[in-house]
Structure 1
Amino acid sequence: MARPRPKLSLWTRIRRFFYLFSSPLKLRASIDRLRAHHKHPYLALLRLFIPLPTWYFPLPPALSIRELWGKPDLLRARRGDIHNLWSIPLWSARDTPLRSLYRLYECMASGDYIPMGTETEYFWYQSRWSLNLIPDPQDTDPIRYAILACLAEELVHAFNWRLSLGMRRDGRHLYRERDEDPYPPYDPETVAPWTKNVPPVDAQWTVDLPADVVDAAGRLVLEEGGVNETFAKRNIVTNVGWLYTI
């Protein structure tokens, strides 16, 4: 007489499904990532399948430069477990280019530029995120709006620089056999049209900011001695080297 098969609970069946199933969503690897910060990682993964309130994650409440400046601990708290989340395809599928742009803004607004390198790398490899299609955030904070516009424009320069070297956003990079060989042609990224309507920072907007973030001319100084031209045209002093890492 055949031995009866053991009855599996619904929860065991769900866990078995995730364990045996293989897909581009990398469900098993996602479970491992979620386990680091979730008591119930399977439930956390299931929630990622539920398109509420919409499929794409909404923007988190935005902070002003006054709230962020000189507060790297606040920045780290805002970013949370972002490096693990980037490795979860289902989470990245619900992320948006505007959310990533705001994360770059928060790095600059806090004065902690280092995370901008990995954030830019993440943005770069989201190949479906065309820079010219970044939606207009219509931000009500004029300083934040100016920084966002500058970032959207400077990312175009940074990404076209990478493309000119043979790098590709889908990871299929092109390599030259010899140094004297020409660089491969590419279709350049273009700027989102809304940025051209964003005004420069007005000196009146900076009067209540900390003294170390404003110069005598009323310009916003995010990085002392910064020379980037994209930001300079909106009266913002900074450099953008972290956007150009490889």
Structure 2
Amino acid sequence: MNRWVGTVAVVTGFSSGIGQAIAEALVKNGIIVAGLARRIEIVEKQSDNLRQEKGKLYGFKCDVTKSDQIINSFKAITETLGPISILVNNAGINLEADLIDGDIDKWRQIMDTNVMALNVCTREAISSMKAHDIKGHIIHINSISGHMLFEVSGFSLYSATKHAVTTLTEVLRREIISAKLPIKLTSISPGVVKTNFFLNSFGEDGDKVFEGRPYLSSQDIAENVMYVLSTPEHVDIKELTVVTQGYLY
């Protein structure tokens, strides 16, 4: 991780859970982290908690469903903190909405957050990396639901967006290779992680997902992000699937 000390990383979906754990781990490894979140006060509070660490955390208020806000945020990050070396596309949501009679606005919000925001953030990060000749690393926080289908009501569009992330990752990899860019690209696909994700998706019933089954923690995913970042320059981990030991998925 030493080669990343003092460089700039952008983490989306920072406000809680996996994104917060990743940002904290990056700061502890001496990296300057720009956390994108709609609730900027959460980033500022976490920044205070990490004041004694090797790196530093800065908050940038951004609704990633708004492309203009993403573009402006990346511009501000580059101008104030420096060129971007690492991007962690962590922002992702699920809203309970099936396909037969689903809410169109919910569909659009899921697509905009899970797919469009990832594309726009990636484009802006690569633009910064290219402009400053940086050997960067882009990490998509995907999901095992991007590789298989779950017969669970309310997950129809979420799974479709994560399948899109799986495909987009490989398409982007081919574009990076074709353009001869020194940028690594990794998809990390966790199984069930104990965060507020399911509560936000299904309300009070969300925690029932964890009843009687093992689950991962946000720190588990953060440790895997640190692992892929710590690999030698010639090693590029394309896909890392992370599940609880001894459980099917």
Q: Same fold (TM over 0.5)?
A: no
TM-score, normalised to structure 2's length?
0.29
* Greater Rg over alpha carbons, structure: 1
> What is the TM-score with the length of structure 1 in the denominator?
0.29
